[in-house]
Structure 1
Amino acid sequence: MKFSVLVALAAAGAMAATPSRRDDSPVYTASKTFPTQGFDGMYYMPEGTEQQPRPKINRVDGQGYFPDSIANPYYIPPRPPSNEAVYPRKKESGDKENVISNIFDIGHQLFGNGNDNSAKCKLCRSALSSLKELVLIDPELLPEVAESICKTFNLATLFGLANQCEGVLGKGAYGPIAAQLLAYGDYSGDSTDGQAICAMSPVQFCDWPDRTLSDDFLDNWFGGSRHAPQHVVDSWEKKRDQAHQRKSDNLLRVAHVSDLHIDPRYLVGSEANCQYGDTIECCRMNSRNYGKYAGYVPWGQIQPWMIDEPANYWGAYKCDTPWSLMGASMEALKSVGGESGYDLALFTGDITAHDDIFHYSREFVLYSQQAIMDILKEHLGDTPLMPTLGNHDSSPLNLWAPHSLPDGRGNQFSWDSDYVAKLWSNKGFIDGDAANQVRRHYGAYSMSPRNGLRVISLNTDFWYKFNFFNFINSTNPDVSGMLRFLTDELFAAEEAGERVWIIGHVLTGWDGADSMDGPSNLFYQIVSRFAPQTIAHVFFGHTHEDQFHVYYYNDNGNPTTASQDTRNVVANAFVAPSVTTYTNLNPTFRVYQVDPETYEVYDFDQYYSEVDEFDDLINNNRNHGPVWRHLYSARESYGNFGKSQSAGKYVAPVQLDQGWWPDGAPLNASFWSALIDEMSVNPSVLDKFSKNQSSGSKKGNTCENDTCRKANECYMRSGTSTQGRRCNQDYASMARG
């Protein structure tokens, strides 16, 4: 067995841990005034809390300030600039009318009654072939045809598009992207590109294709070195044992923030309890609660009688982060760092607001990236920050194209990677070599912020299911080459005796809803090869919820066969909760305590502010902003394994101290897998976890039955999409209410 057993830690000399508690003690009270330091000026600064501030954001590329119109809450562009649309090249000539007629004939069969699943799958793939034929004749006709298909077959309801067929599939949004997908994908014969797309459909017309990786593939991928050399294992075990016995009193403090989702178009007093119709985003000038008011509102003329729940100055449960809350969050982050600040900081993606695809633009994304890096730099000072990109940090959102696309289309997102390379470098977050890697590897890079630690940041859009470019050449689990980059960096770290943190945005596992099978499977094999001796931890965001999942050893290319036994666990992924309150969450950030030699996490503390208190701040004209509190310590909340020990279910290779995880042991993969074992015999621990999952939000749901608890235990053990899909899908986002 590849995973080497941890040394048993004696209880002698170890302090018994204190009982679990939810502290709730205030740690910082934010100012009522927006912190303007770090910005060159303000386009608008409110006298009180009547409206959101609008700072002037200066571009890093020397092109001056972003215009106020980008962040003006009274102006929301109806569509992206037309010059941002990228189509495939026209390849053929043919009878467009006949092709379109055939497409609609197939559509009536596909979406009509009758036909078994096998027939539906064939029809879906046939439809893709016909659409490809149309795109090769006239790619710019596809958006119009797609809009018509959407309306004819009521796909708005099926795909959750409300009344937005035209906007979502239009020329400035996903229409041109769909044309590229169809032009460059292979839908002939038994090709699995089409099967994967049809499996991705909400009604799942086809089964997901098998993405097991062969022995030949894995031998080639790892250059014949599919297992860590013994001297590497021995060196790691020696370092680990010394660290665990030492129990350093000089632990590093590492801040972790994720999913900030700044909404510069947040309008105080607009509808905070909106319904999906004109927009998916609440707290906007065009947000509506149709049970309250469904009419048109002229510019700046929202009246209280039109609104079911007015958007609070400090934020609201169904909305993204206004500037007021962003400023308060950054102040709290700085305050918790104290006079000495943090040793390191991680940011795991998603800066740009949730919004309709047709409200995105390149300028909106770049404004958001610049603004957030500005305010992070101002409040973190000289703390080394390791950032990564989220799926919302491109336009159109969710997308990045591999360089392998023909016709020069592989460079269509270079505007984004070039800008963030310069931005992150300008702020001092990454060095020149890493900046060059960002340009070459879609925003991914590797660097060593401290001796003995290598941080590898990945653009996880290349395993995200909603990055439609991943369905082109989908049999290749690494169509972008990013996982090749990761593997080569891990080999280099292994040779140098370094420990590695991998950071990314979209998680590979949990419920299986987000990652593509092939890339997440390959990532699982990579983790199995390099953990625990080289990979210390993996850090994600994306779900907005406080979660984790673990990786068990697997080297046969099929993670569904992995033995999910704590004795086989090799790594864990921390999934950090969000600063944004979207949806039904409290704003949150996290601080880890980390060993300075092994770079293992020994504990983390979660901090939050209660959204339910925001109305009191306004209604009673308090002279301060949101109050930030300590929510919980991971070690104190989850470190008692007494029930599983008594039941004979505790199998982690660490000797407990009176039922508690000992002080000398880190919160490594064994801890988190053993925690799942504890949850299986002690439901109160999972109940506590589910409350923390929403950062203490009163709007969040909790697990209150065995079905939910079993589903969550399954998510926690799932490190790939194929593993996660085997779990009950009804409880994956319990925190969101």
Structure 2
Amino acid sequence: MRVRVSSVILSLVVATLVIAAPAPHAARLEKRDEAEDKISDLLTKALESLGCDDCLAALVGVKEYAISDKSRVLEIVNNLCPTLSMYPTDVCTGVVYMQGPVLLDSIIAADLTSDDGRKLCFQAAGACPAPDIGDTTVIFPKPRPADPVAPPPSGTQVEVLHFSDWHVDEEYVPGTDAICNRPMCCRKYDDSPSNITRAAASWGDYSCDAPVKLGLDLLSYIPSVAKPSFSIMTGDVPPHDVWLEDRSAVLPIERHAYANMDNLGINIYPTVGNHESGPTNLYPTEASGGDLSWLYSSLADNWSRWLPSDAVDWVKNYGAYAASPQKGLRIISLNTNFCYRMNFYLYADVDDHDPNGMIKWFINQLQAAEDAGERVWIIAHFNPSQINCLQNWSAQYYEIVQRYSPHVIAEQFFGHTHYDELSIYYQPGIKDAQNAISTAWTGPSVTPHSNLNPGFRIYQVDTGNWNVYDSLTYIADLSQATTWDATGATPNWHLEYSARQAYGSYVPIADDAPLSASWWHDVTVAFESDSAAFQQYWTYRGKSANRIGACAANTTCPAQTICNMRAGMSSELCSKITFSLTKE
């Protein structure tokens, strides 16, 4: 899923938050048409203002209303959704009745007389100012060693493959309309018009998820350019049909996709994304109730072809695991859905800063690695510095990175945004090259949704310190898809750029030096003074599709982007949570 949450889900969030003003008992006796008119007026006002006071008052009202008649709340939202979102009834009904009950239950469980309401309004819709971060002091098993240093390189390098956000669409139909009235197109829907605005090419389209044949072609291309020792996959295999993604839909898609990846003949170390679950985003906590053992068991079964038995057992319990692909390296795969702001289960107890004990488990794994003298790669779907991560969870994660870097944590790898991005973590103090301690890589997506070329990445890594010495990003130019169909050609997979070569021209780097966090900080400094350098980054961020909009030098966009690269935790980001009903 992208940084901007699906407009259908956002419609649901706001609709649920403003479903009724504080309602006396008599209001529940209104006729259905009168109640719907009242709610429609309140909803329109809320969408126009997104004010904090309006949101808080609505929360109190919806809680009282939902306690007595939750099914009626869902019915009204479902009736209003097509008007609010401009999506058809099937999309609205699917999202409302899959996502809505969890959000309503969380609102009912929340203590709205405390700061819970403000936190919910802020995190879900940006309707209130950011609350103060609570006491997130992390307790570590052992103190940080004095003057810790990373191990030296071995001089031997291997290649590692990075996939992210595959979003394979097994129902992709070439020739169908790539422009439609649903969150994803290139499918044959019952109400699809006969006149086609833009016919979907068989290899894919910028408005749609990845057809099966595109992914298979990517897999067949990789051996021609790399011989990876192993691969990481940072989440999101199912497509963006969020109104259809239930248990029966996601399980076969995941099973087929992982079987296809297995054809590479190397171990793949996956992590769980927000789309792996059905319904999308919803990962219950022990406190909130709900059972996701069916998903964890299925993932454990699919991943058992690559993981050792103890890691498989962890997946069954946490949706997370630790495993060692080679001597001296431990991969920790986190389930960051427990920090995701659209995981509505989390709002039942916003003061639970470690849902399901993921933070505690993470610390134990890092401490075990430190004790064993191992290096660690962290892989997860969400970069905790992204705006989608709850601020308290993000602050704890940052403290953990500071405790175990640079001597234990070698690199961090994430997905979710679909972009080719990067962020930097620092020790406390000034954010400069000297204090930069860890790099977080966001891998490019396989899916072209939305307006991006499909891509993947190869890292060149030293087996002594397990740091990245170069990052090679490969793409296919999807604007040529109709030509491939017409000529019988296949996608023109090619090297888009080498990070070492592209940015080393702005910030020279020694031949034997890794692409360290300190070096990347200096690259961001170059971005501040050299517009051409920044624009090169912006082009690569969109995988050279040149379809994501400009980030002009005479706007605030470059400074905001650079700020976000240096943020490290979500509370320090320069971008803000926004609400939009615009179709992605």
The TM-score bracket by the shorter chain reads 0.7 to 0.9
For 1:680 and 1:597, the matched residues in 2 are separated by 34
Q: What is the SS of the residue equivalent to 1:603?
A: strand
1:229 is the counterpart of 2:118: no
Residue of structure 1 equivalent to 2:257 = 372
Match of 1:195 among 110, 118, 142: 118
**Which residue of 1 is the match for residue 187 of structure 2?**
284
Match of 1:567 in 2: 434
1:342 paired residue among 228, 240, 252: 228
Secondary structure, counterpart of 1:394 in structure 2? coil
Instruction: Tell me, in whole angstroms, the C-alpha distance in 1 between the residues paired with 2:420 and 2:202.
Output: 25
Answering whether residue 275 of structure 2 is matched by residue 392 of structure 1, we say yes
| Cα pair 1:548 1:572 within 8 Å, conserved | yes
Q: Which residue of 2 aligns with 1:549?
A: 423
Deviation track 1:56-87 (CA, whole Å, cap 9, x = no partner) reads: xxxxxxxxxxxxxxxxxxxxxxxxxxxxxxxx
Shift of residue 453 of structure 1?
Answer: 0.8
State how far apart, in whole Å, the 2-side matches of 1:572 and 1:149 are: 44
Q: Distance in 2 between matches of 1:213 and 1:639?
A: 41
Q: CA deviation at 1:141?
A: 3.9
1:612 maps to 2:479: yes
Whole-Å separation in 2 of the counterparts to 1:113 and 1:176: 21
SS of equivalent to 2:469: strand
Q: Retained in 1: the 8 A contact 2:144–2:403?
A: yes
Instruction: Give 3-state SS (helix, strand or coil) of 1:449's partner.
Output: coil
CA apart distance, 1:103: 8.8
Q: What residue is the counterpart of 1:420 in the other structure?
A: 299
- Give 1:165-180 correspondences, 5 Å limit: 166-168=92-94, 170-171=96-97, 173-180=98-105
Aligned amino acid, residue 633 of structure 1: S
Q: Name the CA shift for 1:161/1:185 in 2 (closer, same or farther; >3 Å).
A: farther
- The 3-state SS of whatever aligns with 1:490 is helix
Say if 1:614 and 1:110 are closer, same or farther in 2 by CA, change over 3 A. Answer: closer
Residue pair 1:418, 1:439 contacting (<8 A) in 2 also = yes
How far residue 684 of structure 1 moved from its aligned partner, in angstroms, is 1.3
Distance 2:47 2:576 in 1: 27
Return the alpha-carbon distance in structure 1 between the equivalents of residues 374 and 390 of structure 2. Answer: 29
Instruction: Tell me which moved more, 450-459 or 193-202.
Output: 193-202
Aligned to 1:581: 448
- The alignment's TM-score, normalised by the length of structure 1, stands at 0.70
Q: Distance between the aligned counterparts of 1:690 and 1:475, measured in 2?
A: 37
Q: Kindly state the Cα deviation for residue 522 of structure 1 after the two structures are TM-superposed.
A: 1.0
Indicate which of 450, 463, 467 corresponds to 2:339.
463
> Does the CA-based 8 Å contact 2:329-2:375 persist in structure 1?
yes
Instruction: Summarize deviations over 1:357-392 as a string: whole Å, max 9, x none.
Output: 3222212111111011000001x21x2211001111
For the Cα contact (< 8 Å) 1:110–1:124, is it kept in 2?
no
The residue number in structure 2 matching 1:181 is: 106
8 A contact 1:143–1:169 mirrored in 2: no
**Alpha-carbon contact 2:123-2:390 (below 8 Å) kept:** no
Is the CA contact (8 Å cut-off) linking 1:490 and 1:534 kept in structure 2?
yes
The answer to whether the aligner puts 1:354 opposite 2:240 as a matched pair is: yes
Determine if contact 1:348/1:505 at 8 Å carries over to the other structure: yes
1:291 corresponds in structure 2 to: none
When the two chains are superposed, the root-mean-square deviation of aligned CA atoms in Å is 2.9
Alignment of 1:57-456 (within 5 A): 98-99=27-28, 112=45, 120-147=51-78, 156-157=84-85, 166-168=92-94, 170-171=96-97, 173-187=98-112, 189-190=113-114, 192-202=115-125, 204-213=126-135, 217-218=137-138, 221-223=139-141, 225=142, 227-230=143-146, 233-234=147-148, 236-237=149-150, 239-240=151-152, 243=153, 248=155, 250-274=156-180, 277=181, 279-286=182-189, 296-297=191-192, 303=194, 306-337=195-226, 341-355=227-241, 357-378=242-263, 380-381=264-265, 383-405=266-288, 409-410=289-290, 412-425=291-304, 427=305, 429-441=306-318, 443-456=319-332
User: Aligned residues, how many?
Assistant: 553
Q: What is the CA deviation profile of residues 500-525 of structure 1, one whole-angstrom value per residue up to 9, with x for unaligned ones?
A: 11001112225x2x111111111111
1:252 partner amino acid: V
Distance 1:200 1:163 in 2: 27
Deviation at 1:548, TM superposition (A): 0.2
Asked if the contact 1:128/1:182 (under 8 Å) is kept, the reply is yes
Alignment partners' CA distance in 1, 2:385 and 2:563: 10
Separation in structure 2 between the aligned mates of residue 417 and residue 674 of structure 1, nearest angstrom:
41
Point out where structure 1 has 5 or more consecutive residues left out of the alignment. Answer: 1-93, 288-295, 555-561, 643-659, 731-735
Structure 2 residue matching 1:390: 3-state secondary structure: coil
Is the CA contact (8 Å cut-off) linking 1:509 and 1:515 kept in structure 2? Answer: yes
User: AA paired with 2:171?
Assistant: R
Counterpart Cα distance in 1 of 2:356 and 2:521: 32
Q: Which amino acid is 1:501 matched to? A: W
Q: Partners in 2 of 1:177 and 1:550 — Cα distance?
A: 35
How far the C-alpha of 1:334 sits from its partner, in A, is 3.2
> CA shift at 1:161, angstroms?
6.0
TM superposition score normalised by structure 2: 0.88
* 8 Å CA contact 1:258, 1:589 repeated in 2: yes
Structure 1 residues 111 and 185, CA gap change in structure 2 (3 angstroms): same
Higher Cα Rg, which structure: 1
Preserved CA contact (<8 Å) 2:472 2:497: yes
Q: Deviations over 1:200-234 (max 9, x none)?
A: 454x43222211435xx33xx225x4x5112xx45
SS at match of 1:450: coil
Verify the 8 A CA contact 2:531 2:553 in the aligned structure 1: no
Contact 1:315 1:611 in 2 (8 A): yes
User: Following the alignment from structure 1 to structure 2, what is the Cα–Cα distance between the partners of residues 114 and 528?
Assistant: 40
Give the Å deviation of 1:484: 1.1
Per the alignment, residue 10 of structure 2 pairs with none
Distance in 2 between residues matched to 1:393 and 1:136, nearest whole Å: 30
- TM-aligned CA deviation for residue 584 of structure 1: 1.5
Aligned to 1:594: 461
| Per-residue deviation, 1:186 | 2.2
In the other structure, the counterpart of 1:689 is 537
Match of 2:359 in 1: 483
Q: Provide the C-alpha distance between the structure 1 equivalents of 2:563 and 2:302, rounded to a whole number of angstroms.
A: 40
For 1:196, give the aligned amino acid: K
Structure 1: how far apart are the matches of 2:189 and 2:127?
35
Partner-residue secondary structure (3-state), 2:225: helix
Distance 2:75 2:103 in 1: 12
Distance across 2 between alignment mates of 1:258 and 1:114: 33
Q: What letter corresponds to residue 147 of structure 1 in structure 2?
A: N
Q: Which AA in structure 1 matches 2:183?
A: I
Conserved in 1, the CA contact under 8 Å of 2:395 and 2:569?
A: yes
Residues 261-300 of structure 1: per-residue CA shift (max 9 Å, x gap): 10011111111133xx3x211111139xxxxxxxx44xxx
Check whether the contact 1:99–1:130 (CA below 8 A) recurs between aligned residues.
no
Q: Distance in 2 between matches of 1:123 and 1:444?
A: 39
Alignment CA distance shift 1:531-1:564 (3 Å): same
> What is the CA-CA distance between 1:569 and the residue it aligns to?
1.0
User: Is the contact made by 2:460 and 2:469 (CA closer than 8 Å) also made in structure 1?
Assistant: yes
Aligned partner of residue 551 in structure 1, secondary structure = strand
| Equivalent residue number for residue 553 of structure 2 | 705
User: What secondary structure does 1:524 align onto?
Assistant: helix
- Structure 1: how far apart are the matches of 2:103 and 2:417? 26
SS at match of 2:325: strand
Question: Given the superposition, is the C-alpha separation of residues 586 and 150 from structure 1 closer, same or farther in structure 2, using an over 3 Å criterion?
Answer: closer
Shift of 1:438: 0.7
Q: What displacement does 1:122 show?
A: 4.1
| Paired letter, 1:714 | C
Structure 1 partner of 2:510 = 662
**Would the alpha carbon gap of residues 439 and 116 (structure 1) be closer, same or farther in structure 2, given more than 3 Å must change?**
closer
Could you say if the C-alpha distance between residues 168 and 564 of structure 1 is closer, same or farther in structure 2, counting changes exceeding 3 Å?
farther
Kept after mapping to 2: 8 A contact 1:103/1:131 = no
- Structure 2, unaligned stretches of length 5 or more? 1-22
Give the 3-state SS of the residue equivalent to 2:356 in structure 1.
coil
